[in-house]
Structure 1
Amino acid sequence: MATINDVAKRAGVSKSSVSRVLNGNFEYMSEEMKNKILKAVEELNYRPNSVAQSLKKKSTQTIGIIISDISNPFWSEVLKGVQYECTRSGYGLMVSSSGEDAKVELENIITLKNKQVDGLIINTTGRNMDLFNQLEDEMYSFVFLDRFNDDLKTDTVIVNNILGAKQSVQYLIDQGHKRIATLLYPVENKSPRIDRLEGYKQALSENNIPIDEDLIKICSQKSESGIKATKALLSLPNRPTAIFSTNTLLNLEVLRGVREVGLNVPKDVSLFGYDDYPWVPLLDPPLSTVAQPAYQMGAKATALLINRMKRKRKTKPRIVQLDPELKIRSSCLPPSI
């Protein structure tokens, strides 16, 4: 491989002049010299040593992201936005998943820091506050994504989940439903889940519909938990006429649960889900959903992180809240019972 000395020798200039050109510093340099150096770089196919540059600049031009559940297709859309902004800004990307395990999250943060990533985007489990406070004290750059934590003020990108849940349940109420169930994964330390439950309750309360705890099912994240919860709901003497599902994977399990008890969506029970993808209209029936701006979330969180890394000083944290959008399809009808 060619070295910077080889380039300098080929161009007939000093090594410092080559270094200035490679760093984009053309001030006080003639056009002739600049072109001569660039020609030598091209002829020798010179590539700067990224490790050496990182040591010199104390930057690897790489960021890391830690997501909670790599199996959820929501995160593939988020990562597209993150990757776009990284590429646009000249940064590499390292991805890891915590699997909703606080210990794994902690290990991932330490590993990525040891690999010298310049900053982190974190979809936090909400259980490593001591570490986050330590990162704040060190002025290490990180941004929370999708989940908000009241105990730590840092740049955060979230969706207005109260609004999304409230609007979807209101849509079901407007169709005449009063027995509306909801399925969620455990809500502890998970602001999106807390907010979706809050939006559900607000819609009921504002329409003078009593909140029935029997219609609120907290599912484990083990496979088929949503199927079992759906079957339990539909076996109630006064079963719900509509279900509000709060997660992509739960959406699919609710559909399966309804079919396994011999009922039909939307003829026997209406279903309004969360998250929207190109394949959702292909479901039977096409599912009404709350669409999150996942791509924009990823891009915005990355832009916030890069700006924070460049400032290299403490600034007032920014909370960016994006609005979801309802996608109305044919999975909801007025109640049949």
Structure 2
Amino acid sequence: MEQFKGQPRLPKFAVPKRYDIRLKPDLAACKFAGSVAIDLDVVSETKFIVLNAAELSVTGAAVSFTPKASSQVLEPCKVDLIEQDQILVLEFGQTLPIGLGVLAIGFEGTLNDRMKGFYRSKYEHNGEKKNMAKSLAAYIKKHACSNAKTEDLWAALEEGSGEPVNKLMNSWTKQKGYPVVSVSIKDQKLEFEQTQFLSSGSQGDGQWIVPITLCCGSYEARKNFLLQDRSTSINADGAPSWIKISNKVARIAADATPELMDNIKQFFINLFQYSAEKLGWEPKQGESHLDAMLRGEILTALAVFGHEETLKEASRRFNAFLEDRNTPFLPPDTRR
């Protein structure tokens, strides 16, 4: 099996056609079991099958290959999971028959907290690590074979986290619009203020509970808090060289110098330009619906950031559209 180590690509003597994967997570124990049936096309003589795999437990008794041309079930004589290359190598005692077959594998693993593979949701709040999976497991167990309301889930998450989840979620699901959170620095303090954003442009009286994470001069020292009032202020920890503010659900509008904003706009223009040039303005034959959707989003983003060439081309195509509503110059997917 040494010949498969350190290779950048999987060997091509067996080609997967379809995966049928089943997973059974144990949220309380943070583990999972699963099985996969892979429709495999063996295209050249081989005793090996090599697959991508990482952090799984697989035994020879849980693996079999059944050629579709016969009812014979072949079991590997050796199973080797090479962690450094993240591959699973199966060695059989005889050469596999050319053609289609089904490779069946049973496996077990751990729900990790590294945002990798099949992972659990874990977060840190004020220095304390918390695991939402246990709260979900308790919720599922409590309401198994019975009816449950949305508030029952919020209550389970609130009990596990110690945070006002029910009140927080109601602020997001039971009113229209979105919050805009403005941030400014005054007297070594960060001042946060939230207002309601409505697409109509009018002002609203909505108020949200907004989870916010901020880093002052170091990614190692993070603060998490809930913005529950219309405005609040917190200490900026001296005079840090930089401050990063982010969250998962709210739109943050931070006060910045015009020069900094110009640099940010140029950064995103450079980021989107390659995709825009690749996608172009015109639909391409055989492209996926995702490409068609992405074209409109990318061109819109470039226009919003003030990319001069995009704005000129958009204006030209829009004028052509005004003169002839059937013109192909402005496809429906690019209209906003």
Q: TM tier, shorter chain?
A: under 0.3
TM-score, normalized by length of structure 2? 0.23
Q: Identify the structure with the greater helix proportion.
A: 1
Q: Which has the higher strand share?
A: 2
